[in-house]
Amino acid sequence: MSAPQAYIVLGLGYGDEGKGLATDWLCRRLRPGLVVRFNGGAQAGHTVVTAEGKHHVFSSFGAGTLAGVPTLWSAHCPFAPGPALAELAALQQLGVAPQLLVDAACPVTTHYDVLYNRVLESRRGAGRHGSVGVGFGATLARHEAGPAARLTAGQLLKPGALPAALARIRAYYRARLATEAPEFAFDSVAHDTGDDRLLAAADTLAGQHRAGGPVRFGAGAAALATVAARGQAVVFEGAQGILLDMDAGEFPHVTRSHTTSRNALALVRAHLPGYTARIQYVTRAYHTRHGAGPLPGEAPLALRHYEHETNRPHPYQGCFRLAPLYLPSVRHALAADAPHAAGHARHLLITCLDQTPDQHVLCSENEVPGSAAPGQLPALLGVAFDSLQLAYGPTAATVRLG
């Protein structure tokens, strides 16, 4: 009898590689017990389109939701109550019945984190880092500052303690902005209104938890143990790309997160004994970047079938940027993950091949545009992947072996 499998979905770029498609495809193949988000937060935007025409961009729920797979929001991921409830409503309007288990130890993103994030990113001007402006990195930094400034998902179930916690977080950011952005009038902001919204969201979430509703809170370890006892597969859904990794990316244009397989493999080792981990790398047939930072060979590309693209101009990230797939950057991403992925099977999915001329990979070795047949990409990268998959459209039904 073969060992149960844990697939880890990772992007080899700056994000937007097709991790949502990869996760949905794996879920329809494997019928796993869980999709686990192991990095990033509500700044993710993972698009899933079904063969029946359903379309959703996942941020606070796993991209296996349309395939009927529950999500575990692990303690590595900040949880944003308001955005999660908004996404829940959108999924329910699609006729979907999602299930989300939030680890009680997750840091909670508040309106104060969002405000701080946006104030700092705006004042950087031409030197912006490329933040999405939803408070992800600020949340993690606040939690690292000490117990007084922390707020965890489990505390959302204790409404009596929340006002005092929010008051401490308000004081924390008042002090930080007084030093880092002294021109900003912190006390002119309607903070009480933001507090009321978060308290209302917490009350709604607590009610769902007590009623066994679509969003519940608990121990991620227990959820993984249940799946392991059943021998079910698990899909770990990465957010953002390896080229944005806090250690491997080009500072300061990075995320405050490990976007390699590091976190996922730690969860497998701790909670899924006997599982075989497999790495599912994903890249588009060209490079993209949404936000400030390097993009070698950046240039307009002649793309088609672009109607499902969900990336639009953004007040903090700017316009969606394009370039041929820069092979040295992809090799760098693979090398950054290699210390973690050593000994595990590695697979490669190339997405968006329907968008490129002749369904080729648009690529370059030295920023001179070129192209190659998809099957040539592993050799160009110098990697013998265990399998190659090619996606010729936005749905899992378009994926086939290379």
**Is the CB of residue 272 less than 8 Å from the CB of residue 42?**
no
- Helix 162-180 to helix 191-210 angle (10° resolution) is 140
Please say which residue of 177, 210, 243 terminates a domain.
210
pLDDT at residue 128 in the model: 59
- In a 13 Å sphere around the CA of 110, the CA atoms on its Cβ side amount to 33
Same domain? For 284 and 299 the reply is yes
Going 86 to 89 to 93 to 95, the CA torsion angle's sign is: positive
Number of compact structural domains in the chain: 2
Whether residues 78 and 223 fall in one domain: yes
Range of the domain at 115: 111-210
pLDDT for res 134: 82
Alpha-carbon dihedral sign for residues 367, 368, 374, 377: negative
Place of tokens 């990113």: 121
255 marked as part of a ligand binding site: yes
Question: Running along the chain, 402 residues long, what does each successive block of 10 average in pLDDT?
Answer: 92 95 97 97 90 93 98 97 97 96 97 93 67 82 93 94 96 96 95 97 96 96 97 96 90 83 97 97 94 88 75 61 95 97 97 96 93 97 97 96 87
User: 397 with 280, same domain?
Assistant: yes
Q: Is the pTM of this model over 0.85?
A: yes
- From CA 26, how far away is CA 14, in angstroms rounded? 22
262 and 238, same domain (yes or no)? yes
Q: Is 337 a catalytic residue?
A: no
Does 18 show up as a binding residue in the annotation?
yes
- Do 388 and 290 belong to one domain? yes
192 is in an annotated binding site: no
Q: Is residue 352 a known part of a binding site? A: yes
Please list, in sequence order, all residues whose beta carbon lies within 8 angstroms of the beta carbon of residue 380, skipping any fewer than 6 positions away.
327, 363, 365, 372
Q: At what angle do helices 327-341 and 262-271 cross, to 10 degrees?
A: 20
**Domain boundary residue among 160, 192, 210?**
210
Q: Where are the alpha helices (DSSP H) in 103-190?
A: 111-123, 136-144, 162-180
**Which one is catalytic: 24, 46, 56, 111?**
46
Same domain for 123 and 49, yes or no, is no
d(CA 126, CA 105): 36
User: CATH number of the domain that 228 lies in?
Assistant: 3.40.440.10
Residue 287 burial class via C-beta count within 10 angstroms: exposed 0-12, middle 13-18, buried 19 and up: buried
In this structure, the answer to whether residues 175 and 88 fall within a common structural domain is no
| C-alpha span between 261 and 164 (Å, rounded) | 37
Task: Answer for the pair 104, 72: CB distance below 8 angstroms, yes or no.
Answer: no
360 given a catalytic annotation: no
Distance CA 126, CA 191 (A): 29
Same domain, 180 and 255: no
Token readout for 360 is: 């080729």
CA distance 392 to 187: 52
Q: Which of 175, 193, 210 is the last residue of a domain?
A: 210
| 384/373 Cα distance (integer angstroms) | 16
What's residue 368's pLDDT? 87
16 annotated as belonging to a binding site for a ligand: yes
Q: By three-state DSSP, how is residue 61 classified?
A: coil
93 and 116 share a domain? no
Residues 343 and 394 reside in one and the same domain: yes
Q: Are residues 90 and 188 in the same domain?
A: no
Residues 47 and 92 in one domain: yes
**Over the range 82-107, which residues count as b (16 or more CB within 10 Å of their CB) and which as e?**
bbbbebbeebeeeebebbbbbbbebb
Closest by CA to 172, choosing from 149, 141, 144, 139, is 149
